[in-house]
Every structure is written in structure tokens, then in C-alpha cells.
Amino acid sequence: MSTGELSGRVALVTGGASGIGAACALLLEERGAVVYPADIASGPGLSALDVTDESQWDTLMAGIRQERSRLDILVHAAGISAASHLPDTAFSEWRRVLATNLDGAFLAVKHGMRAMGKAGGAIVLIGSVSGTRPAAGAAAYSTSKAGVAMLARTAAKECRNGGLPIRVNVVSPAGVKTPMWSAMPFFRDLVATLGSENAAYDSLTAAGGGLFAEPHEIAESVCFLVSDAARHVTGVELLLDGGYVL
């Protein structure tokens, strides 16, 4: 894709404060889109959004419509992780992960479809290979991401059957070097033992976890899926895992 290929398109990116969301927002802007990064965290240039609160979706979408009269691209990168063995998982933790990762994705698709309507557009949800290959010790996370993949396929089918020119796809990476990963307790323990984050990532790769990606690598695939080059692609889960699930 060339610089300016997405010129004039209006994009909303959730989870835009860091990690994959921030990388997507930056690359979309570089490609010419007008980008609204949103996050539960506050910061310069960020729109406030708790993805589990529908009233906040209403407010954000109304603001974008007022300023730009349209929405062409929605990238839903907001999400959380948690790690605990299933018998030790508190119900509150289960609900928290499902609410953010799956309910949040539902609200993103619902409001994205409403905003795009007959004018059309492209929605990309950030999933995970943990939704395809289960991650032991992370039942809530794996279950939520499996649900995200089915949500995207269902939404894509609804749009196709209803004659709406809206494409819905999922990008599902394996490990990515993001703050969500680096904040995990077991990862911090590895860093303390091995001396650096890079050593910890290398250790996980050597143990069979696959090569960790950089956020900008995931953003490249997202930008492809929202571009005209992918105009025939919908209802697809793109695994960015180096063959981890094979």
C-alpha cells in the first residue's frame, strides 16, 4: 500500500493508546485516513471510550458523525488478558474478560454497522490465535477470542445477506510485544529472572510459543484488510502466527 491510499477516509480505532491499537492508528494516519483513536485511558488526541459502556459508544459515534458525517473504517483493538488456572479463576475475572473482549467487540460491530450503513465500510476486530489453539491457564481469554472470530463471521454474513457493503474481518496474532504482554505477572517473573524483556520474549519463543511480532507488523495486515485491495475479503480470520496453530 502506498502513502495516501486511504486519503479522506474516516477511521475509528479503539484501544488506541498503546500496543496494536496505537500502531494501527499511526499507520492509518500515515496512509491518509482521518483517525479517531479512542481508549479507556486518557491522553492527548484520545477520545474517551469504555468499550463495555454502550452509552459511551453512542456519544462517540454521534461526535464523529457531527464532525465528519461518515465512518469508513473501524478497527477494534481494545482488549484485556488474564491468566489463571480454570479452577482458580474467579467468576468476576471471567466476567471482566468476557465483558471487555467479547461484549466490547459486539458493541463495536453493532455501532460500526449502524454508522456505516448503506455507504459501506470495513470493520476489523483484533482476535488472537488463543481463540483457535486454546491457551492453558487463560480460559476466559481464549473463550472471548473464539467468540470474536464467530462474531465477525456472523456480522459479515448479515451484511452480505442484507446487501450492506460492509466487510467484517478478524486479525488474530500470536504473541505481540505490547504492554498487555509485558504486564503479565508470569512475564514480569521471567524478566526478573532473565534480566530483560527481550530475553524473556526469546525464552518464550524457544519454548515453542512462536516468534513475537511487533505491533506495526499487525497494523500492516489491518491496513490491508480495510483497503480496496481487500474489497473481496469478508468474514475471514487472518492468523498472524508464523504457523503456531499448525
- In which element (H, E) is residue 162 found? none
How far is the C-alpha of 87 from the C-alpha of 92, rounded, in Å?
Answer: 13
Separation CA 154–CA 169 (nearest Å): 10
Residue pLDDT, tens place only, 149-208:
999 999 999 999 999 999 999 999 988 888 776 766 677 777 788 878 888 888 877 776
Mean pLDDT of 76-90: 91
Domain boundaries, the chain: 10-176+213-239, 177-210
* C-beta of residue 83 within 8 angstroms of C-beta of residue 140: no
Per-chain mean pLDDT for the chain: 92
Active site residue 201: no
Which SS3 state, helix, strand or coil, does residue 67 take?
A: helix
- CATH level 2 (architecture), domain 10-176+213-239: 3-Layer(aba) Sandwich (3.40)
pLDDT at 207: 73
Give the contacts of 128 (CB within 8 A, at least 6 positions apart).
Answer: 141, 142, 145, 172, 173, 174
Q: Output the DSSP codes for 41-65.
A: S--TTPEE--TT-HHHHHHHHHHHH
The reported pLDDT for the residue numbered 201 is: 80
Catalytic pick from 36, 141, 201, 244? 141
Hey, is 138 helix, strand or coil? Answer: strand
pLDDT recorded at residue 114: 97
